[in-house]
Amino acid sequence: MKQLKKPLCAAILGAWVSFAGVPAGAEVMGGGSPFDARIQTALYSPENVYRVQSVVGRSSLIQLGQGETVNGDTGLIVSGDPGAWTIGVNQAGNLVAIKPMSDQDPDTNLIINTNRRVYVLELRLAQRVADMTYLLRFRYPEPPKKPTAGRNLNADPCAGTFQNRRYQKRGDMELSPSEAWDNGMLTCFRFSTAMPRPVVYRVLPDGTETLANWHQVHNIVVVHGISDEYRFRLNRQVLAVRTRHQGGGFYNYDGTTTGEVREVKNATAQ
């Protein structure tokens, strides 16, 4: 396999951060329509903060999901700076219109609680009409399918008597998995289902990088093997993840990286 010698860019030269720490925040912008980028659609996740950009003299509209409404006992719309933005709701309670009242630092947040979901938004003032959000609507993940008989959806691909969770990270936190652990034979990285997957490189003792072999189990990337350091790369972003192994693990009697074994019964000699 070809080995790559890549410079450790300045983005990961800061202090190492424990996985128990809180990652840096970043809002999610909806993807623009091919007809007009100001008509935006975002994949909903209760873990995300969504950005809505507007300008003075223009209104932005937030469209809630089918069957959702703020008209109910649990309905709530609250802004961090009520005097900076005008907020209106249609009679059905599924459309929320917002408009900045001033160009003097009106940036704030907005919380919408419906009969089904909570939306956390960051309201920002745009410099140009071309950069604003005219409409923000959402796509929603399909509900999980019923588990197939005999299949454990909560299985840990890196299960074992030995568990190493002493991982640290530094660099572009947008690439960061929410968890990292290994069992001395396989390394697991758990990612948010909504985020793009970076390319995973194993850092060799001489500092060179080589592509890691891996497979995916639900939202967990399972790397075949262990390493004292990995680097995740996506475009110009890079995140370093490191640990220090002190031995441990177990022998792979099955000779498989997926944990799946096929048993042949009543086989006859040829």
pLDDT tens column, 88-107? 999 999 999 999 998 888 99
Domain of residue 58 covers: 46-139
Do 128 and 172 lie in a common domain? no
Tokens of 179: 């968890």
Please check whether residues 125 and 163 belong to one and the same domain. Answer: no
Residues 51, 133: one domain?
Answer: yes
- Answer yes or no: do 113 and 177 share one domain: no
Distance CA 152, CA 157 (A): 11
Inside any domain, residue 270: no
> Is the pLDDT confidence value at 267 over 70?
no
* Confidence band for 143, pLDDT divided at 50, 70 and 90: confident
The CATH number of residue 190's host domain is: 2.60.40.2500
Q: How confident is the model at residue 270 (pLDDT cuts 50, 70, 90)?
A: very low
Q: Is it the case that residue 258 has pLDDT exceeding 90?
A: no
Q: Is 146 inside any structural domain?
A: no
pLDDT at res. 22:
46
What does DSSP say about strands 135-139 and 199-203: parallel, antiparallel, or unpaired?
unpaired
Check whether residue 51 and residue 130 sit in a common domain: yes
Pair 166, 113 in one domain: no
Q: In the predicted model, what is the mean pLDDT of residues 111-140? A: 95
121 falls within a domain: yes
Task: Look up residue 224 and give its amino acid.
Answer: H
The enclosing domain of 135 has a CATH number of 2.60.40.1080
In a shared domain, residues 134 and 173: no
Report which of residues 147 and 188 the model is more confident about: 188
Q: Are residues 15 and 65 in the same domain?
A: no
| Within-domain flag for 257 | no
> Mind listing the pLDDT tens digit for each residue in 3-52?
555 555 555 566 776 665 545 557 888 999 999 999 999 999 999 999 99
- The full length of the chain comes to 270
Examine the domain organization and report whether 70 and 135 are in the same domain: yes
Q: Is residue 170 part of a domain?
A: yes
Residues 87 and 119 in one domain: yes
Whole-number pLDDT of residue 229: 94
From residue 8, give the alpha-carbon distance in Å to each of 19, 161, 188, 204, 233. 20, 34, 23, 13, 11
pLDDT in tens, 169-215: 999 999 999 999 999 899 999 998 777 889 999 999 898 999 999 99
Q: State the pLDDT confidence band at 260, using cuts at 50, 70 and 90.
A: low
Q: Is residue 60 part of a domain?
A: yes
Q: Are residues 131 and 181 in the same domain?
A: no
Which among 139, 170, 193 is the end of a domain?
A: 139
Residue 30 lies in a domain: no
* Coil, helix or strand at residue 12: helix
Per-residue exposure over 233-244, b if at least 16 CB sit within 10 Å of its own CB, e if not: beeebbbbbbbe
- Domain boundary pick from 139, 164, 185: 139
Number of separate domains in the chain: 2
Other beta carbons within 10 angstroms of residue 17's beta carbon come to: 16
Using the 3D structure, point to which of 110, 139, 168 is the last residue of a domain.
Answer: 139
Q: State the sign of the Cα–Cα–Cα–Cα dihedral 171, 176, 178, 181.
A: negative
Would you place residue 246 in the very low, low, confident or very high pLDDT band (cuts 50, 70, 90)?
low
In a domain, 100, yes or no: yes
Q: Is the pLDDT of residue 137 over 50?
A: yes
Distance CA 261, CA 140 (A): 36
- For the cut 90, the answer to whether the pLDDT of residue 149 exceeds it is no
